[in-house]
Structures are given as C-alpha cells and as structure tokens.
Amino acid sequence: MTAKIIDGKHFAEDLRGRIAGHVARLKAAHGITPGLAVVIVGEDPASQVYVSSKAKQTAEVGMNSFKHELPADTPEADLLALIQQLNADPAVHGILVQMPVPKHIDPNKVIEAIDPAKDVDCFTPANVGKVQIGLPGPVSCTPLGCLMLLRDELVSLEGKHAVIIGRSNLVGKPMAQLLLRDNCTVTVAHSRTKDLADVVRQADIVVAAVGRPQMIKGDWIKPGAVVVDVGINRIPAPEKGEGKTRLVGDVDTQAAAKVASAITPVPGGVGPMTIACLLANTITTASLMSGLTPPGDLTA
C-alpha cells in the first residue's frame, strides 16, 4: 500500500477561505469585525516568525489584527496589565500570548489573566473543562486541526482505535478528549509506556506528538491506519550541504507511507492547520461574545 499524502496546506487554505466568508457575514449581518490580539515578549526568532504569520493571516481573512511586541525584560506586572486592557477592549475577541514567555514571567499567571471568553488558545482551565464536557467554546488549535483532517479523511471516527503518542497539555490531552467525543476508543501513550511499538500496532488512527524525530517506525503501523504527525523537528541534512538542516516529523514518514492508508507530511501537514484553527477559534469567541451560535464547520 502507498498512503495518500494528506495535504494540510491545501486544507488550511480552504478553511481560511471559509473563515473569510464567516467574517464577511459577521460584518454584514451583525456589524462585528472579529479582532485578534497577539502578544510577544522578547526577540526569539522562531516566535517572531510565528507571530508575524499569525498577524498576516488574521488580516488576510478580514479580521482586525492587533500586535503587541514587548521587550524581553518587560516586568510580569506590565504584561498582566496589558492583558487586562485587552480583556476590557470590546474590539478584541481573541488574545494570544506567544509561548514560551521569558523565564522571569510565570506562564500560569499569564494564562489565568486571560478572559476565558477571549482565550483562543484554549489554555485557561475554564476552556479546558468546557472541551472535556462538550460545551461550546474555543478548542486547542493543533488538536482541532488534526481532528478536521481526520474527519475529512475518515468521515466517521466512530469505533476506531486511536493511539496518541504524547500527553502534553497542548496536544496529547486535548486530542484525547476530542477523539473521545467523536466516539473513538482512545489510548494515550507516552515516554513511560511499555512495549510502545505493540501499542501503536493496534491503532486505526495514530497521532504522533512526542517531539522526537522519526521515532515512530514504519513497522509499528497497522496496514491501512491513518497517521497524523504533529512533530516538527529540525535535523542535520548533510546531503543538502555542510551545516544544512531539514524538518522531519515524529514518524518515519517514508516507511510508514508504505503501510498506512493516509499520512500527513512534515512540513505541509498539521503545521498549516494550527494558525487556521486559531482564526477559527476567533470566529467562535466573537460569535459567543455576541450571543450568536458559532459556525459548526469551525469547531469540534
């Protein structure tokens, strides 16, 4: 078998097109222009790239984009004061503070300062709880993107055995909740799991989110399984020249693609979905803040 390569870049473009349509309808019918505030503290180059990309895509779908760049030595109290100001601003429907924040700032204090109604990352305890019990609200962006790709590929996830490798608050745990809600049988494996290869061999759906380059081998994949690779790891690529690098996922894609029915590539799989889902969450929060039902195609 040669797996279908799931084109996350194309899916994300299509999703952004639908989001632009929802923005236009919110403006025309309700006079609401959704607004997303992105806050970055410090000059980490990777974070700068992410934040610029988020701001650009926010503007492209017709939303208001508010970018706040603070110096690395910003006192925690100043960041918390900015969050309070954004919480109170009616033009802001979503607030994202790019993580990681500098070491002198407590990320938990930052997360707890964000009004859950504007928490488009779904980091606050209130929104994590809502996902767990199935109430409407924002959903963690990367797991939401994975879910959209899986639903598109499989139509129904009911009764499938999903094995998630990784138990992070950002991906593994919310992914498990979402797949349970879609009636999968869910196993969450992690670094202490015994006989990991045998556990993964039982999976109809594999979600790899461990952050270890090409750790999931081709012979761990059950024939016909669907593989979603969340990993983004930079490894040396001497074949491209001295000192060059390339991006790989957590799965040995080439080997797994010989066995799986479908697989997400790295790059171009899950990655592009994350920012698109951030925009989807901003439509969700803008709708809920205005007493409207969020569009069903943008949420879990």
Nearer of residues 80 and 99 to ligand GUN, judged by Cβ: 99
Does 121 interact with ligand GUN (rule: CB under 6 A)? yes
**Three-class DSSP labels, the chain:** CCCEECCHHHHHHHHHHHHHHHHHHHHHHHCCCCEEEEEEECCCHHHHHHHHHHHHHHHHCCCEEEEEEECCCCCHHHHHHHHHHHHHCCCCCEEEECCCCCCCCCHHHHHHHCCHHHECCCCCHHHHHHHHHCCCCCCCHHHHHHHHHHHHHHCCCCCCEEEEECCCCCCHHHHHHHHHHCCCEEEEECCCCCCHHHHHCCCCEEEECCCCCCCECHHHCCCCCEEEECCCEEEECHHHCCCCEEEECCECHHHHCCCCCEECCCCCCCHHHHHHHHHHHHHHHHHHHCCCCCCHHHCC
User: Binding of ligand GUN at residue 122 (CB under 6 A)?
Assistant: no
| Of residues 48 and 64, the one with the C-beta less far from ligand GUN | 48
- Work out whether 247 is an interface residue with ligand GUN (CB under 6 A): no
Stretch that binds ligand GUN, among 11-19, 90-98, 147-155, 259-267 (CB under 6 A): 90-98
Our finding on whether 285 is near ligand GUN (CB under 6 A) is no
Which of 96, 176, 178, 279 is close enough to bind ligand GUN by CB under 6 A? 96
- Options 23, 97, 139, 200; binder of ligand GUN; rule CB under 6 A: 97
CB of 41 to ligand GUN, least distance (A): 11
Number of residues located near ligand GUN, criterion CB under 6 A: 6
* 141 binds ligand GUN, rule: CB under 6 A: yes
Is 119 a residue that touches ligand GUN (CB under 6 A)?
no
Residues marked active site are found at 54, 98, 121
Among 57, 98, 124, 177, interactor with ligand GUN by CB under 6 A: 98
The nearest distance, CB 109 to ligand GUN, in angstroms, is 14
* Minimal distance, residue 98 CB to ligand GUN, in Å: 5
Residue 265 beta carbon to ligand GUN: minimum distance, rounded to whole angstroms? 20
User: Is residue 213 within 8 Å of 233, Cβ to Cβ?
Assistant: yes
Q: Which residues in this chain contact ligand GUN in the complex, by CB under 6 A? A: 96-99, 121, 141
